[in-house]
């Protein structure tokens, strides 16, 4: 009972200070290996473990359902050894791939057409595929993500800006050595109630150095 109280108290506290753009969440480790036009950051991420959900539509209700499923998983809807499941700390960012939006802007489309929306929570670094609790809901999958290099374009404001920013990211990369390996996607670091001008959002895409 105490563990449950402390877990949700921490989430409430993080949410309250998150209104002002203050983030206490763990983030996946990476090193910066380059930049483009002093606007696009090229990062190399170490291998990671994530929980993900695929939806066949990308409307608001589907996004909310995907988030609820992933949050339920980290809040205890998993097959850990404790009776009420393991409670996993929230991390940032949340990754969202929207094939219906990205198909209009991406030169390469890697997401299956039947999966209109894919949302991921990255697990804290202490978890591996072997130690990560198994989800109780079959719609949630725990996956291993190998080392990867991505390009990111950071901006604040609304999620409504992602389509424009993803196009801008691809335009900036077009004249650089860094070539996209798939479709761009969204990384969000803050809750919807964070003040818009304090939000951290990123348009991102996997890249390789073509020179």
Of the ranges 2-16, 100-114, 187-201, which is most confident?
187-201
Output the pLDDT for position 112: 44
Q: Give the count of domains, the chain.
A: 1
pLDDT at position 81, please? 67
Which pLDDT score is estimated for 107? 39
Q: Which pTM does this prediction carry?
A: 0.85
Q: Assess whether pLDDT exceeds 70 at residue 110.
A: no
Residues spanned by the domain of 171:
2-209
Beta-carbon contacts of 85 under 8 Å, excluding residues fewer than 6 positions away, are 75, 76, 77, 78, 79, 133, 136
d(CA 147, CA 109): 20
Question: Is the predicted pLDDT of residue 105 greater than 60, yes or no?
Answer: no
Q: Is the pLDDT of residue 188 over 90?
A: yes
Looking at residue 66, which CATH number applies to its domain?
Answer: 3.20.80.10
Residue 161 has what pLDDT? 87
Task: Tell me: pLDDT of 13 over 70.
Answer: no
Rg (CA), the chain: 17
- Please determine, for residue 187, whether its predicted confidence score (pLDDT) is greater than 90: yes
């Amino acid at each position: 009972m105490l563990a449950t109280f402390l877990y949700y108290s921490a989430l409430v506290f993080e949410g309250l200070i998150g209104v002002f753009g203050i983030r206490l969440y763990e983030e996946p480790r990476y090193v910066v290996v380059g930049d483009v036009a002093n606007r696009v950051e090229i990062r190399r991420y170490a291998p990671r473990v994530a929980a993900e959900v695929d939806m066949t539509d990308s409307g608001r209700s589907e996004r909310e359902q995907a988030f609820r499923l992933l949050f339920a998983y980290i809040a205890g809807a998993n097959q850990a050894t404790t009776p009420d499941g393991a409670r996993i700390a929230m991390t940032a960012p949340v990754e969202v791939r929207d094939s219906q939006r990205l198909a209009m802007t991406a030169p390469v489309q890697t997401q299956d057409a039947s999966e209109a929306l894919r949302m991921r929570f990255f697990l804290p670094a202490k978890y591996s595929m072997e130690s990560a609790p198994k989800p109780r809901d079959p719609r949630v999958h725990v996956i291993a993500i190998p080392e990867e290099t991505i390009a990111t374009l950071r901006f604040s404001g609304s999620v409504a800006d992602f389509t424009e920013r993803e196009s801008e990211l691809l335009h900036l990369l077009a004249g650089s050595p860094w070539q996209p390996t798939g479709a761009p996607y969204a990384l969000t670091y803050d809750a919807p109630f964070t003040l818009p001008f304090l939000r951290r959002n990123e348009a991102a895409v996997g890249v390789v150095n073509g020179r």
